[in-house]
Chains A and B, each alone.
Chain A
Amino acid sequence: MQLNLLNKTISASILGAVLATSVAFAPLQADEAADKQKGFDIAARSDRSDNGFTSSEVEAIMTLVNAAGRETTRELSFKTLERENEDVGDKGLTVFSTPRDVKGTALLSHAKILEPDNQWLYLPALKRVKRISSANKSGPFVGSEFAFEDFTSTELNKYEYKYVGEETLDGMKVDVVERFPRYKNSGYTRQVSYIDQDVYQVRKIDFYDRKNALLKTLNFSDYKEYDGGVWRAHTLAMTNHQTNKSTTLSYGEYKFKTGLADKDFVKGVLKRVR
């Protein structure tokens, strides 16, 4: 009996302590939840600003600059099929026209949210379509400073968010939102995104590596508004702070609603895209 009583007393005091602690932390937790929600809301408003673009086609020139300043270029085209359901990802098709030795090489991607994406690569020299692993999230995309995940992980629900605050960037009022990858194999602990308060577009992202050190910065510029209030940046400049290498993607004019459908994003089409 005495033992039981003693136990009860101890339990009661532990309970008291726990209660006291949680009361003390309650406002902080509420703040955290609010910051999470606000971060998500800002990211969602930005992500959803182009809802209904349906499909797009664009050509781009990628310029790679190494630490010594030597430049190499790649010409490529992107086709994207929007899937409005935020629980499934968009479909994408990337085709290279230069360098000439890899002309016709194509990458088909069916993005998922937390599951690994489905990806197929077409090798024109052998006429071979090869399913490839999408575990390679953090690897360099065609030798550039862009990682695979920088292209394939743009879906809203691939991240958790946290609102950080307001700042001024290039004369614009921007919201600063941290995002944390929820998918496996990411090379980043977190990303800090800067989203303008006027048209809700991402203007800059800082990428932090697995050791939480600043790795890269991506600047979005030359924004243009297309029909239907769809905004697209036409220059994406990625700078690697650790290697001093950089990659710039310069996009041409976007074409929207070009009649692309699911059938244009199956592995069978890889053999005839260019």
Chain B
Amino acid sequence: MKKLVSSIALLAATMPVAAGDFELTGSVGLENRLFFEKGALPGQISTYQPSLELEADLRWQSSDRAWDVVVIPYTRLDAKDGERTHFDLREAYVRWTGDEWTVRAGLGKVFWGVAESVHLVDIINQSDSVEDIDNEDKLGQPMLEVSTQRDWGQITAYVMPGFRKRTFPGADGRLRPALLVDNDLALFDEGTDDDNDVDFALRYSHYFGDWDVGLSFFHGANREARFIPNSEATALIPHYDDITQFGVDIQYTKDAWLWKFEALVRDSAFETYAAAVGGFEYTFYGVSEAGADLGLLLEFQYDGRSDDPAIAPFTVADNDVFVGARYALNDADDTSILAGIVTDVDDASMSGVIEATKRFGDNWVAEIEGRFFMNVDPDNVAFAFKDDSHVMFRLTRYF
């Protein structure tokens, strides 16, 4: 962390303090989750979980466009679950862009991959799981990122001092295991503090005709944790093991077809395993007079890791099929609906999702998100969520 601060200071010191473009925008969102059933655990929220989201977006760019600074503070205030009330700097970095090289230092956010139902190779940022269990909300990752763009593709190297622990619901919260996860007890290969350890990653990305290809390497503390109960069996201790991971993501784009594939090999002190997700997205364009699109999605998820928490973190996407449909109206309000179901091939446990969004006027966006757990087998990891089916309504005002 200290190294990072000094490198930011170094970058900032060489920055021209000339006037550039400054921009401040932001958003305020009010949401409410409605659970269909009472919580199975004592003390859990029974029905409503209202909360408020605030985000600001500050940007500055030098007039020669070589330097830019981005700061995105974010906070959620949850009326019911104190652990879900939290603050994060989603991004806070300085970046220099030259002809062939880009250097960025600070808190950044990076996405790798092509699949829709699970983001397998994506590993740079820790998931802000207390936001939503889809792991698409991320915590800002301290990093020094050096990237070069050449005719043959883009190579990016990441040096990551400092580790972000995953966020988990509190005692009042839903969508949690029976025992609470206590991040204060977290264990790393180096002991209780990972800040002296530095993680590394490397990424190659390019396209060849209709093929988009990404190769990635990561070495450092796993963003997923193994959960082991403490000796009193009153809490779960997260174990963030050191891992080495090789990943590949490929998309083949032909006419209205998008064929997607992601795979990884991950090695820890306990095991080496492979995982993959693959499938397609096919879109029927112009299904309505006004030009709406209907996309159909199908993906297979496989994960070869051990289901023993002494060896590997749990995953729900071990042998599952995702089927989904996306309907986009292509209207002025960007109205769209996505619905999908993931079914476990082994025990037929199902989880469904519906997401709908629509803009009102220029600055208001309304969203509905529903998550449903159906037919959950007692041996499935998702069994802890079996009573947590819910619908979330969110109204956001952008400034």
Residues on A facing B (Cβ under 8 Å)? 64, 66, 72-73, 98-103, 116, 118, 126-133, 135-136, 138-140, 142-144, 147, 185, 187, 243, 263, 266-269, 272, 274
Whether A99 contacts B359 by the Cβ 8 Å rule is yes
* B residues near A132, Cβ cutoff 8 Å: 253, 258
In the complex, the answer to whether A269 meets B149 with C-beta atoms within 8 Å is: yes
Q: Give the contacting residue for A274; candidates B59, B251, B286, B399; CB below 8 A.
A: B59
Interface residue from A101, A136, A144 paired with B359 (Cβ < 8 Å): A101
Asked if B75 is at the interface (CB within 8 A of a chain A CB), the reply is no
Q: CA A268 – CA B101 in complex, angstroms?
A: 11
Do A66 and B332 have beta carbons less than 8 Å apart? yes
Contact across chains for B291 and A138 when beta carbons are under 8 A apart: yes
Question: Closest CB of chain B to A59's CB: distance in Å?
Answer: 12
**Contact residues in A for B147 (Cβ distance below 8 Å):** 268
Distance in Å: Cβ of A135 to nearest Cβ of chain B: 5
One of B9-17, B230-238, B338-346, B360-368 at the interface: B360-368
Are the CB atoms of B256 and A103 closer together than 8 Å? no
**Binary contact readout B324-337 vs A (1 if CB under 8 angstroms, 0 otherwise):** 00000011111000
Contact between A266 and B149, CB atoms less than 8 A apart:
yes
**Complex Cα–Cα for A118 and B210 (A):** 8
CB-nearest residue of chain B to A128:
B111
Let me know if A100 and B255 touch, CB within 8 A: no
> Interface residue tally of chain B, by bracket?
35 or more
Q: Residue A139 contacts which of B27, B68, B99, B286 (CB distance < 8 angstroms)?
A: B286
Interfacial chain B residues near A128, Cβ < 8 Å: 111, 113
Minimum Cβ distance to chain B for residue A259 (Å): 10
Would you call B257 an interface residue if the criterion is a C-beta within 8 Å of the partner chain's C-beta atoms?
A: yes
Q: Is the CB of A263 within 8 A of B149?
A: yes
B76 at the interface (CB under 8 A from A): no
Q: Do A72 and B361 have beta carbons less than 8 Å apart?
A: yes
In the bound complex, CA of A98 to CA of B361 (Å): 12
Query: For A272, what are the chain B residues with a Cβ–Cβ distance below 8 Å?
Result: 68, 95, 97, 102
A142: chain B residues at CB < 8 Å are 334
A139 and B399 contacting across the interface, CB-CB below 8 Å = no
Min Cβ gap A126→B in Å is 6
Whether B362 contacts A72 by the Cβ 8 Å rule is: yes
Closest CB-CB distance, B291 to chain A, in whole Å? Answer: 4
Please tell me if B110 contacts chain A, counting CB pairs below 8 Å: yes
Give the residues in chain B near A99, CB-CB below 8 Å. 359, 362-363, 398
Known: A72-B332, A128-B111, A133-B257. A139 touches B293 (CB 8 A): yes
Whether A101 contacts B398 by the Cβ 8 Å rule is yes
A140 surroundings in chain B (CB, below 8 A): 290-291, 330-331
Contact A126-B332, Cβ < 8 Å, known A98-B362, A101-B365: no
Contact with A along B244-281 (1 / 0, CB 8 A): 00000001010111100000000000000000000000
- Asked whether, in the complex, the Cβ of B207 is within 8 Å of the Cβ of A267, the reply is yes
Partner among A101, A127, A138 whose Cβ is within 8 Å of the Cβ of B111: A127
Asked if B87 CB lies within 8 Å of chain A CBs, one says no
Contact with A along B56-83 (1 / 0, CB 8 A): 0101010000001000000000000000
Contact in complex: A126, B136 (CB < 8 Å)? yes
Which B residues are in CB contact (< 8 Å) with A103?
Answer: 25, 57
